[in-house]
Amino acid sequence: MGEKQLSELSKKTVDSEFFTLIPDGYKKGKVKYVVITGSVISGIGKGTVTSSIAKLLEERGLKVSPMKAEAYYNVDAGTLNPFRHGEVFVLDDGTETDMDLGSYERFIDRNLTKENYLTTGKILSEIIEKERAGKYLGRDVQFIPHVTGETKKYFRQLAVDSRADVVLIEIGGTVGDYENMYLLEAARQLRYEEGEENVCFINLTYIFEPKTLGEQKSKAAQLGIKKMIEMGLMPDIVICRSENPVHDNIREKISVFSNVPLNRVIGLHDSENFYQIPLMLKEKGLDKAIFESLKIEEKKLQNNNSLEKWTEAMTVKNPKKKITIGIAGKYTGLKDSYISIIKALEHCEAEFKVKIEVKWIEATEIETGKKKVEDVIKGVDGLIVPGGYGKRGAEGKIECVKYCREKNIPFLGICYGLQMALIEFARNVLGKEDANTIEIDSETKQPVICLLPDQKKIEGLGGNNRLGGFDIKVKENTIAFKLYGKNTIRERFRHRYECNPEFIKEFEEKGMVFSGKSPKVDIMQILELPKHKFFLGTQFHPELTSRPLKPSPCFKGLIKACL
């Protein structure tokens, strides 16, 4: 379909079965699209592969804008339980997103926006609103063309607003799921309208290797690709995930079955070093396969060894020392719940050339008496109490904070962790035995943690947090100032409750220093104990802005103290 045809279709959208919404300023062919789908099983690394592709293309001088298109009916990830879907990642603009957005940001070292994140709930909310306002002019609103049409509009709008050369669209779930069919159909239509040379389909599949058989089996992968083909989605590239290197005969089977040239069937086995994956894919020719599929002239692109240098810098071959960091939370059963914290620690590994082992501490086990705090923290060089919500595990976290403060163990409290540190200090230093947060005990006589002023009138869970990036004024001659080296910093928040201003004077009289606060409102955002080896609490989430080769100053401070 030519640009003129596309333009003509957009003019008669309402009464046309094409329903092609073209954003202002959009030009066909100016941007290329790469659509990444998954088959066989979920959780095999689509987000990592998408991030790696972004890294590969940006290394060659192309501007990339990645999008995560999720099939769930939630408008955003804000109300999702971490056990269900992993960490909620918060963008600078306040959007609560899937954790894959964090992976994108870390790999391309750039802030993303709400336009890089799409959900079924977001699409349907807009469609219902338009229908109620009569924007469809009496048409019966249908899956095709309206839902798919509105979806394609989001794809193209991201292309216009980001001014990207290549838009990456990672479709959540697996091919064959009922809920993501509209996304797959929208991608098929996008290729029909934009042309094959402008849309590349990459399918990430899985090759099983049952231990009882001792050989790799490709049948599940073949059936997953078959389902994709049945939906009109012909893959241009197939990436075969596996535990061990994919055998050539398996790649040949996939190639013959899917009509994908053998050089575009790429094996990607498990790697101990997460940061070597982009280089692994480059060495297997993934970037060249994409250029070939999208008719991008490779010789016109920049060519340097920046990826090799980046990979080497992020690889710790001979660690100088090994330390253990405890993470005391209540979602420790699913490590993805704290994925940004894990990544921030990995960034510090590269910075200090050390090996950091994580010891998971389930706070509820301390709270219920199943384990003693001195036993679980034994052997830990430093402790992190991460963010969270609700009563479960809170008392266990407070016990952990108390142990670290009294035993002079380096401590970093993040968001809820800062609040637990305030409660512990109020109880055991200020002598306020019933000190608590009103989130847990609304009747407490010593509410050292209370609602933010702007949040008191808000009801319901969706969108009621203080979200996104905010400036913080840092006090000079403090630990925080030494870590950041400047008076004003910007970090990301996700909270409803704060340190009660009525208790600040009492805290300070007993030696606590509030070294960071909001420039305009008297909200305490960083606390520290100067006489302690390292005791820092942040109301913000420093892990969300930590990047490879640019570790979070808060995490750097913790690890340096442990060393």
Q: Model confidence at 272, in pLDDT bands (50, 70, 90)?
A: confident
Q: What sections of 25-139 are H helices per DSSP?
A: 46-59, 82-85, 100-108, 120-132
Q: Model confidence at 7, in pLDDT bands (50, 70, 90)?
A: low
What is the reported pLDDT for 20?
84
What is the reported pLDDT for 461?
47
pLDDT at residue 186 tops 80: yes
What is the reported pLDDT for 460?
47
168, 71 contact by CB (below 8 A): no
Annotated catalytic residue: which of 415, 450, 499, 562? Answer: 415
pLDDT at residue 153 tops 90: yes
Q: Kindly list the domain boundaries of the chain, sorted by start residue.
A: 20-312, 322-562
Q: Model confidence at 43, in pLDDT bands (50, 70, 90)?
A: confident
Upper half-sphere CA count for residue 533 (Cβ side, 13 Å): 18
- CA dist 309 and 549 (Å) reads 11
What is the reported pLDDT for 392?
85
Class of the domain covering 20-312: alpha beta
pLDDT at residue 54 tops 50: yes
Q: Model confidence at 8, in pLDDT bands (50, 70, 90)?
A: low
pLDDT at residue 64 tops 80: yes
Q: Specify the length of the chain in residues.
A: 563
- CA dist 16 and 20 (Å) reads 8
CA distance readout (Å), 332 to 150, 329, 355, 362: 38, 6, 21, 6
Prediction pTM value: 0.92
Contacts of 399 (CB under 8 A, 6+ apart): 366, 367, 373
Class of the domain covering 322-562: alpha beta
Q: In DSSP terms, which residues pair with 356 in a beta bridge?
A: 323
Q: Model confidence at 459, in pLDDT bands (50, 70, 90)?
A: very low
Task: Write out pLDDT tens, residues 220-259.
Answer: 999 999 999 999 999 999 999 999 999 999 999 999 999 9
The answer to which of 68-82, 213-227, 411-425 has the lowest mean pLDDT is 68-82
Burial degree of 354 (CB within 10 A; 0-12, 13-18, 19+): middle
Token pair, residue 411, equals 């401590």
Contacts of 314 (CB under 8 A, 6+ apart): 273, 275, 346, 350, 548, 549
- CA dist 363 and 327 (Å) reads 9
- CA dist 243 and 33 (Å) reads 29
Among all chains, which residue has been given the structure tokens 């142990």?
403
Which of 266, 220, 281, 247 is closest to 52 using CA atoms? 281
What is the reported pLDDT for 14?
61
Residue 415 annotated as catalytic: yes
Across the chain, mean pLDDT equals 92
State the SS3 of 208-257.
ECCCCCCCCECHHHHHHHHHHHHCCCCCCEEEEEECCCCCHHHHHHHHHH
The one-character DSSP state at 87 is: P
Q: Model confidence at 343, in pLDDT bands (50, 70, 90)?
A: very high
Q: Model confidence at 12, in pLDDT bands (50, 70, 90)?
A: low
Annotated catalytic residue: which of 85, 347, 495, 541? Answer: 541
Task: Write out pLDDT tens, residues 489-517.
Answer: 999 999 989 999 999 999 999 999 999 99
What is the reported pLDDT for 252?
96
CA distance readout (Å), 36 to 47, 172, 201, 237: 9, 9, 6, 10
What is the reported pLDDT for 491?
97
- CA dist 118 and 183 (Å) reads 10
When pLDDT is averaged across residues 178-185 and rounded to a whole number, the result is 93
Task: Write out pLDDT tens, residues 285-342.
Answer: 999 999 999 999 998 999 888 999 999 999 998 998 999 999 998 766 667 889 999 9
Do 322-562 and 20-312 have the same topology in CATH? yes
Q: In DSSP terms, which residues pair with 68 in a beta bridge?
A: 117, 170
Percent of the chain with pLDDT over 70: 94
Q: Model confidence at 80, in pLDDT bands (50, 70, 90)?
A: confident
pLDDT at residue 463 tops 80: no
Annotated catalytic residue: which of 70, 185, 528, 543? Answer: 543
When pLDDT is averaged across residues 70-99 and rounded to a whole number, the result is 88
